[in-house]
Amino acid sequence: MELVNSLDGRLLMAVPKKGRLHEAALTLLQGSDIQFHRHNRLDIALCHNLPIALVFLGAADIPVFVGEGRCDLGITGQDQVAEHQISVEEILELGFGKCKLQVQVPANGPIKDPKELVGKNVVTSFTHLSREYFKSLEVELYGAEAVEKNGMKTVMKYVGGSVEAACALGVADGIVDLVESGETMKAAGLAAISTVMTTEAVLIRSKQPRNPQLAELILSRIKGVINAKKYVLCSYNIPRTLLSVVHDITPGKRAPTITSLEEEGWVAVQAMVERSRVASVMDQLEEAGAHDILVLQISNSRAGKD
Ligand SMILES: Nc1ncnc2c1ncn2[C@@H]1O[C@H](COP(=O)(O)OP(=O)(O)OP(=O)(O)O)[C@@H](O)[C@H]1O
Ligand SMILES: O=P(O)(O)OC[C@H]1O[C@H](OP(=O)(O)OP(=O)(O)O)[C@H](O)[C@@H]1O
Ligand SMILES: [Mg+2]
């Protein structure tokens, strides 16, 4: 009871309590300086340095808690938001938890096209998204009127985990489940025949957060952490006469910073570069005549208000 009372006036943020999104979500909170101590087995943790309480929930339940306004912010997958058809604002893609929700069938079986699963048994944790997907296939095959009149032929069965076992156990002709590396699918002797949606982790906000200013502050802190991970700072020296070439290679996020060097005719350039492009940018800079090219990690960043 004491803990419940201490939630008064706090912004409630739902965080995945286990699974694929748990660690990455905690890393984001740490980078955003949201300090907390979670007591053993307790699913609510009060922050020390901000009026926030973290609520640890299953990723699948988070859209419901945020959609009903019981939590103000939450971290979950876009797949879970779409599955629960609940009204929340997806305010920031978080760059982890990337995978695809795919239709899968036994790799050495006869089915090669998802339409061949129409009228058969499909097992999934995503019954809503799967029903919508197969409904559109049935509409293509039989027309909207017939589907409306007779109902759907494809049977969707819910299981909460280890979905890949369903085909081998004879419960399903096909499944709809998440695929990232494809290892689980391959190990179960399955192959993907189509994609229902691609997904990644996302920060969601309720329609009317208790403390909109604090929600905004958390959003900009998390944005800062994500941008810092996405970009590196590239610095190099180059003759001033070559500056126009350099603008093309390292335009920066807004513009590169250019300062004069003590050496006549030379300038130093600093610009943010997407981490994924940095090797090719360095190649191009070297080719263009840049010297002393350095790549520096950014530990945090803020873009500033628009
Ligand atoms: N293999 C994966 N790679 C990347 N993201 C994934 C993967 N599996 C799941 N996700 C993402 O994580 C979300 C939560 O799934 P996850 O399986 O981690 O939760 P869980 O079922 O609650 O946990 P657990 O599987 O440990 O019981 C999914 O909705 C999806 O957005
Ligand atoms: O393509 P991969 O990299 O192999 O990842 C895909 C697997 O990851 C998730 O399962 P999880 O590990 O959460 O187990 P679960 O099925 O019990 O939820 C998902 O449900 C797939 O089974
Ligand atoms: Mg899982």
Does residue 225 lie in a domain region? no
Ligand approaching nearest to the C-alpha of 166: 2
pLDDT surpassing 60 at residue 271: yes
Nearest CA to ligand 1 atom 31: 77
Residue pLDDT, tens place only, 153-162: 999 999 999 9
Ligand approaching nearest to the C-alpha of 185: 2
Does residue 185 lie in a domain region? yes
Q: Determine the atom of ligand 1 nearest the C-alpha atom of 201.
A: 31
Do 250 and 195 sit in the same domain of this protein?
no
CATH number of residue 115's parent domain: 3.40.190.10
Nearest CA to ligand 2 atom 6: 179
pTM comes to 0.90
Quote the pLDDT of residue 1: 53
Distance 249 CA to ligand 1 centre (A): 38
Q: Probe ligand 2: pick from 184, 190, 196, 199, max atoms within 8 Å of CB?
A: 184
How many domains, in total, are found in the chain?
Answer: 3
Do 112 and 244 sit in the same domain of this protein?
no
Q: Is the CB of 18 under 6 A from ligand 2?
A: no
Residue pLDDT, tens place only, 220-240: 999 999 989 899 999 999 999
Q: ipTM, 2 decimals?
A: 0.96
Does residue 306 lie in a domain region? no
Ligand 1 first shell, C-beta below 6 A: 18-21, 58-59, 77, 79-80, 97-99, 161, 178, 180, 199
Q: Output the average pLDDT for the chain.
A: 94
Burial readout 97-115 (b: 16 or more C-beta within 10 A, e: otherwise)? bebbbbbbbbeeeebeebe
Please state the φ and ψ torsions of residue 94, each to the nearest 5 degrees.
-105, -5
CATH number of residue 260's parent domain: 3.30.70.120
User: What is the extent of the structural domain holding 267?
Assistant: 231-297
